A and B are shown apart, each in its own frame.
Chain A
Amino acid sequence: MLEKNYMKLEFISKSSNESFARVVVAAFASQLDPTIEELSDIKTAVSEAVTNAIIHGYEYGEGMVTVEATLEKDKIEIVVEDMGRGIEDVDKAMEPFYTSKPDLERSGMGFTVMETFMDELKVESKVGQGTKITMIKKFKSLSDRE
């Protein structure tokens, strides 16, 4: 069993960093030896959260995005945080297919994807201060092995 492990990644809000962020978290999560499907879920959820920070948090302006991940026992907790404009109505933002930027061809599915692919999702946001997304995934493949 792996001891608790932790990582923190910080990068500027450039869309080219979306793939960088999800690959780093997936590589970190690999220490727990999850299934390919579980890794794919994590990559997708991180990609959605980081994309939100870039498009909505900073609205393509420059700011810092931080991604933290903690491995403990059979689960991973991922925190994606920006210090951008924040979300006025979190409940509305989380409604499937709702998007504040339809002109950008956003599908409005970001939070739905995070909710579906992870076991827990928490969204904390303050207008003018930023947004913090916390996601937890339990690796069922690990609990099954015990």
Chain B
Amino acid sequence: MNLSMKVINEYLIVSLNGELDHHTSEEIRKKVDQKYFNQNLKNIILDLRGLKFMDSSGIGLVMGRYKNCKEKNGDVAIVSTNPYINRMLNMSGLPKIINIYSSMEEAIID
């Protein structure tokens, strides 16, 4: 699993590459939260386009970041194009509370 993060204004942009499961999500959660709170950021964009696999641990990861952002009056957006990942996201009902975009540009503009 490869994680890269960058900050644009109050947005933390998190790009994930590889397989997101219980094992990998714990480390990602720690690293993302550390940066988010240390730099006092507000919003998170999760770029899942590089994921080759995601199980329900990924849903837990998204929901946890959503909770953190809401507490700081921020928001979470997801960028995802992989049909398998989208199927998992849809099954969880997350699209009811989190917007899913197919490109980074759309996510930032919105």
Residues of chain A at the chain B interface (Cβ within 8 Å): 15-16, 18-19, 22, 37, 40, 43-44, 47-48, 51, 54-55, 104-107, 109-110, 112-113, 116
**A113 with B55: in contact, given A106-B60, A107-B60 (CB under 8 Å)?**
yes
Interface of B is mostly: helix
Question: Residues of B at under 8 Å CB distance from A?
Answer: 19, 21-23, 25-26, 29, 53, 55-57, 59-61, 63-64, 84, 88, 91-92
Classify the interface of chain A: helix, strand, loop or mixed. Answer: helix
Q: Name A15's contact: one of B19, B23, B59 (CB within 8 Å).
A: B23
Report B87 CB to chain A, min CB distance, Å: 9
**B92/A54 in contact, CB under 8 A:** no
Pairwise interchain contact A110-B56, C-beta atoms closer than 8 A: yes
From A15, A43, A44, contact of B22 by CB (8 A): A15
CA distance A106 to B58 in the complex (A): 9
What residues of A have a CB within 8 angstroms of the CB of B21 in the complex? 15, 18-19, 47, 51
A105 contacts B55, C-beta separation under 8 Å = no
User: Is A109 a contact of B91 with CB atoms below 8 Å?
Assistant: yes
Q: Which residue from B53, B64, B91 sits with its C-beta under 8 Å from A105?
A: B64
